[in-house]
Structure 1
Amino acid sequence: MRLTALLFPLAMIAAGCSGDTAAPGDAPPAVQSPEAATVSERRHDEHSHAQPDKVRIADLALDLALDFDARQLAGTATYTLEWTDPAATQLVLDTRELAIEKVEADANGAWTPLQHALDAADPAFGSRLAIEVPQRNARVRVTYRTAPTASGLQWLEPSMTEGGVQPFMFSQSQAIHARSWVPLQDTPGVRFTYSAHVTSRPDVMVLMSADNDPAAPRDGDYSFRMPQPIPSYLLAIAAGDLVFKPISARSGVWAEPAMIDRAVAEFEDTEKMIATTEALYGPYRWERYDMLVLPPSFPFGGMENPRLTFLTPTVIVGDKSLVSLIAHELAHSWSGNLVTNASWKDIWLNEGFTTYVQGRITEALYGEEMAQMERQIDHDTLKDEMAGMRPEDQLLALAPLPGRDPDEALSEVPYAKGAWFLQFIEERVGRANFDAFLRSWFDDHAFQSVDGDQFVAYLKQNLLAAHPGAVRDEELEQWLNQPGIPPTAPIARSRTFANVDTARIAWRGSAILPNAQVTSEWGTHAWVRFLESMGDTLRVEQLEQLDQAYGFTGTANGEIAMRWYPLAIRSGYPPAQEAAGAFIQRVGRRKLILPIYQALATTAEGRAFAREVFERARPGYHPITTASVQALLDKAAEPAPQAAAAPAAATTGQPEP
C-alpha cells in the first residue's frame, strides 16, 4: 500500500507463466530459511485475538451473497485447519461488527453445531470469537453477515461512480479490516490459500484478489481460487460496472467503461516494469498482474492485492506523471506479498523493501537522475514528518503497540527510512552483492511471514559475514532501534532540483518567472519541489502571478493540488478556497485531501467551510477516510485571540533562506 507519492516524470512511464517450478494452481511450498529455527518475540501480533501457535487456518472457502440494497455480504466461511498444539481444542477468530448465525464442524461429512462465544467489541480490534472444537475437526464452518458499516467495505451509490449508472463496492482489508467482512485469524503472521463463490445482481462484475478470468461472463455467479498462500490483509473483493482491457499477455486493467481507455493508456508500460523487476529479483510468482481502477473515494494511492492491484483514479492525469504508484504496488509482489511482515511492528519489512525496489525499477527504466529525485522527495518528506513525531514512532523496529490500531503506525518512517536503510547497506557492500543478497532473501522466504529479527540474522549470516567491517553492529542499532536518521545515511542529490531551487530563489527576489523554456520541461517532481520549498505562505500577488502563469487552481494533478491549495489557503488567497472544496469533495484519497483539511482547520472560517464540505463529501468517502477527517476536524482547536490576526500578517510571506 502506498500512502505517499512516488513520482515519475511526464511521458516517461511506461503476468501467464512466471517461470515458477510449481505447476499452475499448486501452492508453492514454504522454504525453510537458515534462521527460521529461532522464534522471535517480534512475531507475536498484539493486534489479533488469534492463537496461531495452537491452530492455524490453512485454507479458506467462502460462499457469499452480495447485496447492494442491504449493503451486506452474507454466507459462510469454511476453514481447513492445522492443529499445531496437541492440547488445543479452541479456535479463536477475529471479527468486527459481524453477525454470527451459527458455527459447525465437519464430522465425517455431516455438519454438527459447535459451541461458540462472541466477546464484547473492542473499539480498535473488534470482537473475539471463541469456538470450542473438542474433536479438533479438520474443517469448521461459520455462517455470518456483515454490517452495512463494515470498516473494510465501501458501498457506493451509482451517482458516486464514474459511470453514474450502477452501484460499486470494494474492500480495503489492510491493516486489520479483513475481520469486518470475514471472520479470520486477521494477522499477517498466518497465510492461507482460499477459494470463493460469490453471487450478486447480474449487471455487475465481481472480482477478487485471485484468479480473475478476463473473459469471464457478467452473470451474477462467480468463482475464484487463490492457490498461493496469502495473509488476511490481502483478501480483497470488488463489484461494479467493470470491463477489462489487456496490456500484455499477463497484465491488464479492469475499470468502469468511461475510464478504461484512459487507464490502459496511462499504465501501458506495466509489462516493462514486471520484466525489469524479474531481472533484478527473480520470477513473478503470481501468474497474472492486473489492476483495478476504483472510484475516487478509494482512501489510498494503491493496494497491492495479489493478482489485482487496487488503484486510485487520481494517478490518471493523462501524462503518466504519477504512475510510479504502479511500480510500488508491483514491487509488493516480491516484498510484502511474497515475503510478509509477521506483525505490524515490522511493517518496514513490507514498505521499506518495496520503496527500495520501486526506486530500483525507476532507475533501471528511467535513469539515475529520476531515482535521485524520487529519493530526495522521500527523504525531505520523512525529515519534515519526523520533526513532529514522537521518538518511539521514528524507529524501524517499532515496540509492541498494545491497544493501538496499527493504522496509526502508518507514516513515512517504514517507507522512506526503511528504503534509506537498504540504500545504506547497498552503498557499503556494493550493488552487485546487495542485489544477489536481496534476491536470495526473497527466494529463501517465499510465501512466508517473517520478522525483523529474522532479517537481521539473515543479513549478518548471508551478507555481512562476507564483508567484515562494512556495517558495524552499532550502525544497525542506529537504523533499526534509534529515532532520527543516522549521520551515515547516503544523501540523495538531484541536479534538476538544484535548478528548480535556483529558479524559485530568483523569482522570490525579482518577481520574474522562470523562463518558459525551462518550466516546459518540468515534470511533476519539479513542480512538487517548486511548491514545497515556498515556505508556509506567500503574498496574494505572488500567488496570483503563479496561478495566472501555471494554472494551479483547478489542477487535475493531485500531487500539485495537495501542495498548492494548503499554501493558498494559509496565505489568504480567495480564488483557491472554492476549488479546494470541490477537490476534497470529489476525491477521497487521504494523502491528497488531509493537508487541505488541515490548512482549512487553522481558522474558524476555514473550519466552518471544511465541515460544510465534509458533510457533502461524507457519503462518498471510505470509512477510513471519514474517520481520519472527522478526527482532524474534532482535534482542531479554536485559535487564540492573538492568532486571529495571523492570516493578514502572514500574507507577507516567508523570507528566502
Structure 2
Amino acid sequence: MCRSMQRIDINSASNYESAVTKHSDIEVSIDFERNILSGTTTITLESREAQGVAELVLDTSLLEIHRVFVSDSPARWDLKPLVEPNGRPLHITLDNVYSLGETFTVDFQTKPNSTGLQWFKPGQTDDKKYPFMFSQCEPVHARSIFPCQDTPSIKTTFTIRISSVLPVVASGVPEHDLVFPLVNDISEAKIYTFQQTVPISNYLFSIASGNLVGAQITPRSYLYCAPGDLEACKAELQPDLEAIMASAEKLIYEYPWPWYNLVILPKSFHLGGMENPVFNFYSATVISGDRENISVVAHEFAHSYSGNLVTNASWEHFWLNEGWTVYIERHILRELRGEDERTFHSIVGWQDLLYGIESYGGDQSPSTRLVLDFEGQRPDDVMSKISYEKGYTFLCYLESILGQKEWLRFVPHYFKTFFCKSVDSSQFKSCLFDFYASDAEAISILERVDWEAWYHKPGAPPKPNFQCKLYDDCIQLTNRWTNLSTQSMYRPSPQDMRGWTVAQILVFLDTLIRSPNQIPLDYVKQLESVYGLAKSKNLEVISRYLRVALRANDRDAIEPTRKVLAETGRMKFVRPLFECLIAVDGKIASETFQELKDFYHPTCVRLIENVLHGKGLLQA
C-alpha cells in the first residue's frame, strides 16, 4: 500500500489549515523608475476552525509592509524574522474571533530585488524603446509580490487593478479593450482591471507591462508581443492553435475560461512558457520561423487543465501538475501529427528522464523520486524535468495495464472530480480506485501496482516499450558520427537529414552531446559545412550545435556562444551553454556572466552563480 501523504505544505508559513483565502483584491501601481510595485491587497477569508481564528499568518518575502486593516480598523501586525527558505511570515492579530465578511487589507511595497519580478530598462528590451516588467510566481514567489497564502493547496478568485504608463496583461479576464493602441506617450498612467472568477492558486497570479501590441488570431485567442514581432509571432502560432485547443477539449472537456491568450515576453524570460490563466507567457525562443515548437504551445495549453484547474496540493506532488500536462501535450501531438510523433516525443522524454536522474544525483538520490521531499530546500532547486517524464511514464504505465479505452474514460473523470481543487498523490490513487470500484478486473490490476515503488523509489521506473523508426534513424546517424575515423567508409552528406524534423535533429545532437565518444574537432566543423546547423534560426538547434562544438574544445564557438547567451535568458539554454563554456575557458565564462547578469531573471542568476561557485570561478 502507498504510505499516507502529509497535507502540510512545508514551503508555506501561512496558517492556511485554519483560514482559507476565498477572494483576493489586488490594487497596485507600477513604478518603472524605482522598479517596485506598491499598493494593497484585500483578502476575504473562510475559517476552517469550529471555534474561529484570532490570527492570520501570510507568506511574504522581500516585501515592505506599511499598514494592516481588519475591515476598516487598524490591526496589530508583526513581520517576523527571516526563516529560509520560506521568507518572513506576516502575523495579523484580531481583537476578536474572525467573523464571516471581515476582510484583511495590507498596504505593501515590493523591493527591487523581488524574486518574483523582473525589470528591464529600455535598452534591455527587444525594441529598445520602453521599460518592461513581468512576474514569475511559480513555485513560491507570489509572496515576493504581495502578502498571501503562498501554497498551491489554496485557491482564490481575484480582482486585479494595475496602474501603469504602459499596457498591462494579468491572470484574469480584462475589463478593457483586448487590443492596445500603439504606445507613443508614457506621461500618464492608466488603470487596467481584470477579473478571475475561476479560483486559482497564488502561484498563478501574473502581471506583465511594457510596449505590447495585440491581435486576435483565433475566435477565442489574442496574441501579444513587441510591435515589431507581431507578424512573425502570428505566422508561428496561429495555424495550429485552434486544433491544439480542440484536441484537449475532446480528451477532457470544454476550455473553462472565455479567452486563451498568448504573451511573448522579452528574450530574458527564463522559461519556455508559463501557464498563467487567460494570458499564457511564452519565451521569445518559441518563435523560430519553422513552426517546430508546437509541443511548447501544446504543453502550456494543457496546463489550462492540469495545474490551473486541478493543482498539486503541495510541490512535493509536482508530478501531478507536470506528468498530466505532458500526457495531454502528447495526446495533442498524436491528434495533430500522428502516433509516430507522440511515440517519438515519448522516447525523447525517456532519455531526458535518464539524463535528469544522472544530473540530480543518480538512482539513489531522493531528488529523483516521483513524490518529492523539500525539507530545508527551495522548491526551485529540486523541481526538475524528472517530475514531467517520470509522471508521464507512470500515467502511460497505468494506461497500458488498464487498456487505452478504459483509461481514456478515467481521464475526464479525474479532471471533473478535482475541478478547481488541489490534489495529492494518495487522492489520485483513491480517485482511480473509486472510479473502477464496480470493475473487479480493473481493481485487481490496480491492486497489483507497486504504488510504494512508483511514488517513493528513487531512480528510473521500468522502461516503457516505445518503438519508433523516426527515433531509430537519429540514433543510427549519431552512431555513424561517433565512429567516424580516417578508416571509416561513411562520409557525412546533406542527404543524411533529408526530410527530418527539427525534433529529429535535436535527438541527433543530444545523443552526440551525451555520447562518451567525443567527436574530433575536424568533424565538428562538418556539422556546419555539411548540415549548416550553425546557420539555423531555431535556438534549440543552434544551442546544441554550440555545445557539441565546445565539447570538442572548438574555440571558434566561444563568440557565437556568448552571442546566444546575450540573446536569451531561458535556463534550458543558458545553464548548459555556461557549463560547456566553463570547460573551455572559465575566465571567459565568468566575465560573460558578469556582463549579462542584469539581463537574466533572478532565478537564472542564482542558478548560474551556483554553477560558477562550484567551479571556483565566483567568490561566495
Q: What TM-score do the two structures reach when normalised by structure 2? A: 0.92
Q: 1:94, CA displacement in angstroms? A: 0.4
Percentage of matched positions with identical amino acids: 31
1:344 aligns with 2:278: no
Q: 1:524, CA displacement in angstroms? A: 1.4
Determine which of 393, 402, 426 is the counterpart of 1:453.
426
Aligned equivalent of 2:303: 332
CA separation of 1:474/1:442 partners in 2, compared to 1, >3 Å: closer, same or farther? Answer: closer
- Conserved 8 A contact 1:40-1:451: no
1:436 aligns with 2:409: yes
Q: What secondary structure sits across from 2:173 in the alignment?
A: coil
1:582-612 CA-partner distances (Å, limit 9, x unpaired): 1112210001110111112235xx2111111
Determine which of 71, 75, 85 is the counterpart of 1:114.
75
Determine which of 332, 338, 346 is the counterpart of 1:361.
332
Q: 1:40, CA displacement in angstroms? A: 6.4
**Which one is further off, 629-638 or 315-324?**
629-638
**Which one is further off, 68-77 or 497-506?**
497-506
Aligned equivalent of 2:506: 528
Aligned equivalent of 1:641: none
Aligned equivalent of 1:420: 393
Q: What secondary structure sits across from 1:601 in the alignment?
A: helix
AA aligned to 1:235 is F
Pairing of 1:632-643 with structure 2 (within 5 A):
632-637=611-616
Q: 1:555, CA displacement in angstroms? A: 3.6
Pairing of 1:71-90 with structure 2 (within 5 A):
71-85=35-49, 86-90=51-55
Q: 1:475, CA displacement in angstroms? A: 2.5
Aligned equivalent of 1:411: 384
CA separation of 1:180/1:513 partners in 2, compared to 1, >3 Å: closer, same or farther? Answer: farther
Q: 1:515, CA displacement in angstroms? A: 4.4
Aligned equivalent of 2:64: 99
Q: 1:261, CA displacement in angstroms? A: 1.2
Q: 1:120, CA displacement in angstroms? A: 1.3
Determine which of 130, 135, 138 is the counterpart of 1:174.
138
Distance 2:443 2:86 in 1: 45
CA separation of 1:372/1:474 partners in 2, compared to 1, >3 Å: closer, same or farther? Answer: closer
- Conserved 8 A contact 2:433-2:446: no
1:155-185 CA-partner distances (Å, limit 9, x unpaired): 0111111211011000000000000011000
Q: 1:216, CA displacement in angstroms? A: 5.7
CA separation of 1:513/1:329 partners in 2, compared to 1, >3 Å: closer, same or farther? Answer: farther
Aligned equivalent of 1:616: 595
Aligned equivalent of 1:565: 546
1:479 aligns with 2:457: no
Q: What secondary structure sits across from 2:6 in the alignment?
A: helix
Distance 2:67 2:159 in 1: 21
- Conserved 8 A contact 1:162-1:256: yes
1:490 aligns with 2:464: yes
- Conserved 8 A contact 2:179-2:215: no
- Conserved 8 A contact 2:12-2:86: yes
Q: What secondary structure sits across from 1:619 in the alignment?
A: coil
1:279-327 CA-partner distances (Å, limit 9, x unpaired): 1111111121101000010011000001111000101110011231010
1:409-449 CA-partner distances (Å, limit 9, x unpaired): 21122100100100111111111211110110001110001
Any gaps of 5 or more consecutive residues in structure 2?
Answer: 184-188
Pairing of 1:204-353 with structure 2 (within 5 A):
204-212=166-174, 213-215=177-179, 220-268=190-238, 269-353=240-324
Aligned equivalent of 1:396: 370
Distance 2:5 2:519 in 1: 51
Determine which of 448, 469, 474 is the counterpart of 1:500.
474
Distance 1:168 1:388 in 2: 34
CA separation of 1:525/1:216 partners in 2, compared to 1, >3 Å: closer, same or farther? Answer: closer
Distance 1:465 1:370 in 2: 35
Determine which of 311, 325, 346 is the counterpart of 1:375.
346
AA aligned to 2:163 is T
Distance 2:573 2:161 in 1: 36
Aligned equivalent of 1:575: 556
Distance 1:301 1:59 in 2: 30
1:453-482 CA-partner distances (Å, limit 9, x unpaired): 100111122137621432444532222121
Distance 1:513 1:146 in 2: 59
1:192-239 CA-partner distances (Å, limit 9, x unpaired): 0010111112xx101101113414667621111111100000000000
Distance 2:470 2:570 in 1: 28
Any gaps of 5 or more consecutive residues in structure 1?
Answer: 1-38, 639-657
- Conserved 8 A contact 2:167-2:212: yes
- Conserved 8 A contact 2:520-2:552: yes
Distance 1:275 1:242 in 2: 27
Aligned equivalent of 1:197: 161
Alignment size in residue pairs: 590
Aligned equivalent of 1:588: 569
Q: What secondary structure sits across from 1:347 in the alignment?
A: helix
1:551 aligns with 2:532: yes
Aligned equivalent of 2:186: none
Q: 1:41, CA displacement in angstroms? A: 4.3
Distance 1:634 1:149 in 2: 21
Q: What TM-score do the two structures reach when normalised by structure 1? A: 0.87
Q: What secondary structure sits across from 1:602 in the alignment?
A: helix
- Conserved 8 A contact 1:281-1:435: no
Distance 1:577 1:465 in 2: 63
- Conserved 8 A contact 2:115-2:144: yes
1:135-159 CA-partner distances (Å, limit 9, x unpaired): 3152010001000110000001111
Distance 2:35 2:489 in 1: 55
AA aligned to 2:68 is V
CA separation of 1:554/1:157 partners in 2, compared to 1, >3 Å: closer, same or farther? Answer: farther
- Conserved 8 A contact 1:561-1:592: no
- Conserved 8 A contact 2:251-2:411: no
Q: 1:491, CA displacement in angstroms? A: 2.2
Q: 1:525, CA displacement in angstroms? A: 1.4
Q: 1:511, CA displacement in angstroms? A: 6.9
- Conserved 8 A contact 1:553-1:579: no
CA separation of 1:334/1:430 partners in 2, compared to 1, >3 Å: closer, same or farther? Answer: same
**Which one is further off, 233-242 or 496-505?**
496-505
Distance 1:465 1:402 in 2: 39
1:239-261 CA-partner distances (Å, limit 9, x unpaired): 00111111211112111111111
Distance 2:196 2:190 in 1: 20
Q: What secondary structure sits across from 1:42 in the alignment?
A: coil
